[in-house]
């Protein structure tokens, strides 16, 4: 089963990563952009965490924000020809349709949609309703639904078949998350279902380090090749 036609970014691009400028990454935006060019990438999206997730990270790890988000309006890539996009990794807040899609109260035009255990007021009974309501209300601005095959926290309760039906309806890609696969945080059974049944896919690093940006992709490509997907 060759699924190459489903993957939006089978070339050298990546639409999920984090910087230390606005989130919990270990490198600045400029460092990431320089390194992306060195490893042959042509387009990246900096998708730092939403205000709600950052509030949780600040409480847990004393992470601080190092730059003002509104300054991205003045930022230009002066280093190389990598195309750089600024999105936000938005958070589902509850089982209604409420999300947090701001960084320092600044909105991005588009978002990657996620749910994190420190932010989402979750229960086993509500997670699928939460995804359904959030996607139905905000689908026009959602570029990707992140790490749907996570095996941590409430993700084991996600009805992956129902989520696939929903994203296919609105032509939203699901993500094959390089970081989660590399670090053993992926439900492999669900990943196979996602690969086989989702109409559109991203393969994204969710990188928090330069190592992740470079190495995680190799692991995903190897997995897809070994299983006959590409």
Q: Which of residues 152 and 99 earns the better pLDDT score?
A: 99
Of 78, 14, 29, the residue nearest 212 (C-alpha): 14
The CA-to-CA distance between both ends of the chain, in Å, stands at: 8
Q: Check if the beta carbon of residue 65 is closer than 8 Å to that of residue 104.
A: yes
Pair of tokens at residue 17 = 């990563």
What is the band of 75 on the pLDDT scale with cuts at 50, 70, 90?
Answer: very high
The C-alpha R_g of the chain, in whole angstroms, comes to 17
Q: Are 132 and 97 in contact (CB under 8 A)?
A: no
The yes-or-no verdict on residue 187 having pLDDT over 80 is yes
Domain ranges of the chain: 18-226
* CA pair distance 121, 154, nearest whole angstrom: 10
Q: What is the pTM assigned to this prediction?
A: 0.91
Fold (CATH) for 18-226: TIM Barrel (3.20.20)
């Amino acid at each position: 089963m060759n699924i190459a036609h489903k993957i939006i970014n089978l070339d050298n691009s990546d639409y999920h990563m984090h910087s230390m400028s606005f989130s919990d990454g270990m490198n600045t935006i400029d460092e990431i952009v320089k390194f992306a060019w060195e490893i042959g990438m042509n387009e990246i999206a900096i998708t730092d965490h939403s205000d709600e997730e950052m509030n949780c990270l600040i409480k847990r790890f004393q992470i601080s924000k190092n730059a003002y988000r509104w300054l991205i309006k003045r930022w230009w890539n002066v280093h190389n020809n990598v195309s750089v996009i600024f999105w936000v990794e938005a958070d589902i807040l509850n089982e209604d349709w409420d999300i947090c899609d701001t960084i320092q109260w600044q909105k991005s035009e588009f978002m990657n949609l996620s749910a994190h255990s420190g932010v989402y007021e979750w229960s086993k009974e509500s997670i699928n309703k939460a995804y359904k309501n959030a996607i139905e209300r905000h689908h026009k601005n959602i570029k990707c639904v992140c790490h749907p095959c996570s095996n941590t926290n409430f993700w084991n309760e996600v009805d992956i078949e129902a989520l696939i039906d929903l994203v296919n309806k609105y032509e939203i890609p699901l993500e094959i998350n390089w970081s989660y696969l590399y670090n053993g945080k992926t439900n492999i059974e669900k990943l196979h279902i996602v690969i086989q049944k989702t109409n559109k896919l991203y393969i994204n690093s969710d990188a928090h380090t330069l190592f992740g940006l470079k190495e995680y992709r190799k692991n995903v490509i190897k997995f897809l090749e070994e299983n006959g997907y590409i």
